[in-house]
Amino acid sequence: MGGLRRVGDRLRFGILGAADIARKAVIPAILAAGNAELVVLASRGLERGRALFDGRVVSSYESLLADLEVDAVYIPLPNSLHREWAVRSLEAGKHVLCEKPLATTAAEATAMAVAARSTGKLLMEAVMYRFHPRIQGVVATLRVTPPKEIWASFGFPLRTPGDIRLDPSLGGGALLDVGTYTISLARWIYGEPEWVEATGRIAEVDMTVSMTLAFAGGARAHLFASFDTPEVQELHAGDVLLDKPFTAWRDPVDPYQVMVEEFSAAALGGLPSPLSLEDSIANLRVVDAVRRSLDTGDRHHLAETGEGSPPVTE
């Protein structure tokens, strides 16, 4: 997956789309990274793109993918477009850093992993919180002697008309937005769950989801994701009570910058992904199981379909 240029050079990024997360977090991270640079942004609204980036802005995603000056693409598009544009980027010879969730389902993510393997390019989900040293230290401690139960929550009120996270056709919903964080954290601590049970409030999209994940040995993770509540974000595990486990960025380290630098080092050096596609697929298998539990009202056993053990994709 390497061989673009010599190790130590900068990975040249293009960004597909003028999303808010790019403006607030990823563009500053690329600009601050020691081994990356932003060379072009593609936005179908040129004025919006120019408001985000004072460098080269183009109106065509296709022209960005054809640009020989672009080594890697960051994709902050709506969830429903991740698979299409990640695969197109990989097939155009670009490494891909894709905003979380990697896809809307495990099947989509698996197809993306197949494309990465066939093209020899790096594909990674941009799960930025995993790069913050504070949460890394907490999880390392918890994994030594895992508590019998943890509680993790991530919620905030979302009422903005037209917000893509409220559009089912674009992969909206609290589960794919903030729920993937809580599932990721539980799996990071315990491994793969044996079964899940979920309830929630469903409108056009799932607005609130409460989940229980059961793990080997009787451990339980009680998870909460919501667009209905006042802002809440915490991890409670044994004696640990951690505020803002997912978004404490730039406190004092910016995990977005660390993520960009580690991704760039892997792409330039032909190294394995800092976050594996197996892990991203496994997270979406749990998301799929939560959806089934929400649909049926029943407990869903992942082991019955082999969902707890994703295929090797890298």
- Using one digit for the tens of pLDDT, what is the confidence trace for 162-204? 999 999 999 999 999 999 999 999 999 999 999 999 999 999 9
Active site residues: 100
Tokens of 32: 């601050």
Q: Averaged over 118-132, what is the pLDDT? A: 97
- Residue 2: left if φ>0, alpha if ψ -120 to 50, beta else—which one? beta
What is the C-alpha separation between 66 and 37, in angstroms, rounded? 18
- Tens digit of each residue's pLDDT (9 = 90 or more) over 252-277: 999 999 999 999 999 999 999 999 99
- What CATH number does domain 133-248+281-305 carry, 3.30.565.10, 3.20.20.220, 3.30.360.10, 1.20.1630.10? 3.30.360.10
Report the SS3 class of residue 230.
coil
What is the C-alpha separation between 171 and 165, in angstroms, rounded? 7
Percent of the chain exceeding pLDDT 70 equals: 93
Q: 24-62 as b/e, with b when 16 or more CB fall inside 10 Å?
A: ebbbbbbeebebbebbbbbbeeeeebeebbeebbbeebe
pLDDT of residue 250: 75
- pTM, two decimals, is 0.93
Q: Averaged over 98-109, what is the pLDDT? A: 98
Q: Hey, where are the domains in the chain? A: 11-129+252-274, 133-248+281-305
- Does residue 283 contact residue 190 with C-beta atoms inside 8 Å? no
Q: Do domains 11-129+252-274 and 133-248+281-305 have the same CATH topology?
A: no
Domain 11-129+252-274 fold is: Rossmann fold (3.40.50)
The DSSP call for residue 93 is T
